[in-house]
Amino acid sequence: MDRIYEDDNFRWSLGGGEAKLLKYIGDATRVSIPDDVCGCAVTSIGERAFYGSWSLFEVTLPETLKTIEEAAFLACGTLKELTLPEGLESIGKDAVQGTGVEKLLLPASLKDLGPGALYGIRVVEAAPGNPVFYTVGRTLTEKLGDGTTAIIRYSGFDYSYDVPEGCSRIAQGAFRGAAIRSVTLPASLEMIEPEAFIKCDDLKTVGFPVGDGKYITVKFPLISLNTAQNTWLVSCLRSTPESPYIDADAYDALILDLPLSLEKLDIATDRLKSGWLLSPSHERGYLEFLGEHADRAMAEAIRKNDLVKLNDLAELGVFNGDNIDTLIDMAADAPEFLSYLLNYKIDNIGISETDYEL
């Protein structure tokens, strides 16, 4: 039976020639965990052993360490220095989350990494020779048992990133805080974990595969939005039962709740054109929004001389008896637009005696 032993800094569980660190009970800023306690090799740091230890700045781990259990260093906000020893095989869920550690090297011996284990760490790399984890450029990647891969952490500075084909999972916090503006996802992707793209405040477009080598681009209107709105929108990039890529219902609801802007008009048009993962209620919402603000959409189309946009709005059914005359008046100095709208009215709405008089 294991026995409990306590010294000035730690509470231990000893048995079978091995020691497990159960709890840090000291208040030092720098701590060195010994390799041996009472003749037992220190092989494990237990669940929540250092949880919330705000005095810590640096922890030196023993060379005998095999396992860091769940939440072992969770919420150690002042912890800056942590070096993982060669021989370490497993890091549990949330183990180093919420610390001040900014860079970490995974040893070649590491085989298992729990969800959110390294969440928030800016740069994570794998030592050469690790059979499970490897670094390509600034992307830490995990080899999965089915032959696919998972992106664990991206630490690069590119504005555009194409997730490689063969990747089936993007881990929690994988792109946290990245400066990326556009991302393209592969057809092999099966799972985006929650908060994978959190704090990607510059993200503007994401390309989603829709089969047959085709992609749909979904826009994220970040200009003029506050941080909370950015976070809500980017958090929609997560797997749901309907899609491995995005919570489309949450995305559309957030977009429809935004104030009027040119970006919102463009997104409404794009969402109606594609119809991808678009619910009937949000389809109606987008159509009502465009119909209500058809004059604004028309003014922008005329400004850009964008007849394609004009045709898109017409095909979507945005023009109706309530707004067509106002739009025709707006197009008085744009002959091509005027001709298009007059013909549209004749063919789809009908003309009145007033129109004959004109």
pLDDT tens-place string over residues 53-88: 999 999 999 999 999 999 999 999 999 999 999 999
- pTM equals 0.86
Bridge pairing between strands 214-219 and 205-211: antiparallel
Query: For 163-218, how does the pLDDT look when each residue is reduced to its tens digit (9 = 90+)?
Result: 999 999 999 999 999 999 999 999 999 999 999 998 898 899 999 999 898 999 99
In this prediction, residue 355 has a pLDDT band, given cuts at 50, 70 and 90, of low
Identify the structural domains of the chain with CATH numbers, from first to last: 1-127 (3.80.10.10), 137-258 (3.80.10)
Q: Count the Cβ atoms, other than its own, within 10 Å of residue 83.
A: 12
Res 228: pLDDT: 62
pLDDT digits (tens, 9 = 90+) for 302-340: 999 999 999 999 999 999 999 999 999 999 999 999 999
Place 246 in a pLDDT band, splitting at 50, 70 and 90: very high
Specify the 3-state DSSP secondary structure of 108: coil
> Cβ(42)–Cβ(64) under 8 Å?
yes
- Stretch 243-253: mean pLDDT, rounded? 95
pLDDT band, very low/low/confident/very high, at 231 (cuts 50, 70, 90): confident
Q: Could you read off the pLDDT of 97-151 as tens digits, one per residue?
A: 999 999 999 999 999 999 999 998 999 999 999 999 999 989 999 999 999 999 9
What DSSP assignment string belongs to 176-217? TT---SEEE--TT--EE-TTTTTT-TT--EEEEEEETTEEEE
Per DSSP, the residues of 299-311 read HHHHHTT-HHHHH
Residues 6+ apart with CB under 8 A from 95: 68, 69, 70, 71, 72, 73, 74, 114, 117, 118
Residue 223 pLDDT class (50, 70, 90 cuts): very low
Percent of the chain with pLDDT over 70: 95
Q: Is the pLDDT of residue 232 over 80?
A: yes
Query: Starting from the edge strand earliest in sequence, which strands make up the sheet with 133-136, in order?
Result: 133-136, 139-143, 149-154, 167-170, 191-192
The count of other CB atoms within 10 Å of the CB of residue 200 is 25
Q: What are phi and psi of 158, to 5 degrees?
A: -70, 150
Residue 160 to residues 203, 263, 304, Cα–Cα distance (Å): 9, 20, 27
Structure confidence at residue 356 as a pLDDT band (50, 70, 90): very low
Spatial contact of 171 and 150, defined as CB atoms under 8 Å apart: yes
Residue 52 tokens read as: 């919330």
pLDDT at 1: 65
Band (pLDDT 50/70/90 cuts) for residue 274 is: very high
From 54, 95, 106, 43, select the one nearest 72 (Cα to Cα).
95
The string of DSSP letters for 24-72 reads E----SEEE--SEETTEEEEEE-TTTTTT-TT-SEEEPPTT--EE-TTT
Instruction: Give the Cα separation of 59 and 72 in Å (integer).
Output: 12
Out of 152-161, 228-237, 259-268, which region has the weakest mean confidence (pLDDT)? Answer: 228-237
Which amino acid makes up residue 318? V
| pLDDT of amino acid 201 | 85
Q: Give phi and psi for 121, each to the nearest 5.
A: -80, 130
Would you give the DSSP letter of residue 101?
Answer: -
The pLDDT of residue 47 is above 50:
yes
- 301: confidence class by pLDDT, cuts 50, 70, 90: very high
Evaluate whether 171 touches 141 at the Cβ level (below 8 Å).
Answer: no
Query: What average pLDDT does the segment 347-354 reach?
Result: 74
Residues in a beta bridge with 105: 125
- Between the two ends of the chain, the Cα-to-Cα distance in Å is 99
Q: Is the pLDDT of residue 358 over 80?
A: no
Quick check: 225 pLDDT over 80?
A: no
